[in-house]
Every structure is written in structure tokens, then in C-alpha cells.
Amino acid sequence: MPAISALVLFALPLVALAAPHSDTVLRRHPNIHQNASLEARTTYTLKDHYTGKDFFEATSKGLAYVQNDGTTVLAVDSTSKLSSGENRNSVRISSPNSYTYGLFIADIYAMPHGPTVWPAYWTVGPNWPAGGEIDIIEGVGDSTSNQMTLHTSSDCSLDQGVDSDFTGQATNHPSCASSGSDNDGCGITDFAPHVYGHNFNLLAGGVYAHIVAASGIKIWHFPRTAIPADITAQKPNPANWGKPAAFWSASTCNIADHFKDHVITFDTTLCGDWAGNAFPGGMDKCLDAVEDPDNFALAQWKLNYVSVYES
């Protein structure tokens, strides 16, 4: 039985000044060729399994707790009426263990949505952007699409020749390189139904799975009613899952160079660069909305488990 570790919990005022999770860059390696079947013939063994109280070592301000059914809830303060300029408390959890390669499966019942919120499920390495960042779930407000993005140092990009190997839609920024002045990264947007926010929650969520391998990075989404039986049986076989929503081939990004020692993170930022600028009326109106606790009744992550497999 693999060791079960606790994710470390932080209760933070994730508002206004919270920037995007990190910054990024990119690099080309023409001698590494695309492998659209990077998961074929690979057997995965469960390494770590986070569920219930394993998600955190302590709770703070009542914003992180485990329900009687074992669901882990990570909430935004939805009771405090704030004065102008005050920050609202939210929760961020990160894994104590770090990972470079592996298969990561997150079973999620619900994710935050609503005014000002910017939730994310992501992994990040040391010395950002050198260690890389993988955004598996990200969006703002009441969006219905999911933005999946890589952030790296220089010489990494999305291979625009493999767009037939994933179902999402590439953004117009193929460079994954990120910095304080250019933090877009190389994104792929999933416009499928029920991938994000309220629509995701209507089906009691589902599973997000991603693979990090020397030959590339892939992300899949499965709604609750279509989770593969091999995932439920803890014998995942990605070769049977069909096209991923996102795929970054090693043909234009050396994975070993750009992604290492990643910690798993869930958080909910309020306003920030993206949600603040996307809010009707802009950042000032977003900050005004943060003062009203009624805006955050639905700003909750509800997590079943996160499992990490190694090949």
C-alpha cells in the first residue's frame, strides 16, 4: 500500500495583488520527435493517494474541512462583510511531495465559480519559471471553458503541427516562455460541455487526468458519467482514453529541461490580473465585489481524491 501523505494547507488572503500563479518561457529541441502515443504499453503503479483529511495537516478559519462523506471542501470566506481595501480569506493547498514524471488523476465533485473568482488546479516547480508550471484547470468568473497552459523558461513551445492530436483549441500564443512582462504561456482551451465552473458542477464534476512524460504532456477530462472503469479500479490505462483535451509534444519542448520537482496545488484567487481585468467595469469594480460575502457562496472546491501514479 503506498504511503498516504497530507497536502499542506495555507489560509491566505488571495485577492487583488495575487498575480498569476507564476511566469514562464520556452525552447526548441528538433531532435526529439512527436509521440502521439506516449502512454501506450505503459503500466502505472499508485504512488500517492490524497483523500479526506490527507489533503491538509490543519484547518484554518473554517475554510477547509472534510464532510461526513469524506469530501474535502476548500472554501472562500462567504460570511465576512469587508470594508474597502480589506482582503478576503481563501485557501491554497500544496502537496508536501514533489513529482517530475507521472500520471496524475484528480477526482473533483465541484469547483469554485462566481463573481471575482479565479480558481486553479496546477503544478509548479522551483525557481519559476525555470522549473515549469502546468495549469490543468483554470478560468475566471462564470466562464464555461477551461484554460490549460504551460509556463516555462525559454525554448519551449506548443507544436502547432500536432493540433489534430488533441480536442481543445490552441490559443494564439505558441510560446510557453513566461516572465513578468509576458505571462501568457502556451495555452489550449477546452470548449467542451461540462469542463468548467457551474456546468462542471451540474454533473457532480468528474475527473481530470494528466501525464507528464519525457515525450510530452497530455490532459484529459472525463465527466462524472463517463469516468473510465480503469480509473475507478485504480488500474489506469491512458492508451484506451482517446484523444486528450490538450497535448504538448516534446518535439518543440524538452520536457526534462523545463519540468521538474512539481508540487500539486489547488487555490482560489480573487480578482488578480485575469479575473480583475475580465470583471465588468474592470479591477476597481472587482475589488468592490470582493467586499460582499454573498458573492462567494459557490466559491468552493469539493475534492474526492488526487492519485499519483508512476510507471
- Give the residue numbers marked as catalytic: 133, 138
DSSP states of 228-268 as a string?
Answer: -HHHHTT---GGGS-S-SEEEETTSB-HHHH--SBEEEEEE
Q: Are 264 and 7 in contact (CB under 8 A)?
A: yes
For residue 96, which phi and psi values (nearest 5 degrees)?
A: -75, -25
What gap in Å lies between CA 230 and CA 103, rounded to an integer? 13
What gap in Å lies between CA 200 and CA 198, rounded to an integer? 5
Residues contacting 272, CB < 8 A, separation 6+:
14, 15, 16, 17, 18, 19, 20, 118
Q: Which residue(s) pair with 115 in the sheet? A: none
C-alpha cell at 58: 490543519
DSSP states of 167-190 as a string?
Answer: SSEE-S--B-B--SS----EEEEE
Q: Are 64 and 91 in contact (CB under 8 A)?
A: yes
Residues contacting 22, CB < 8 A, separation 6+:
124, 128, 129, 133, 151, 178, 183
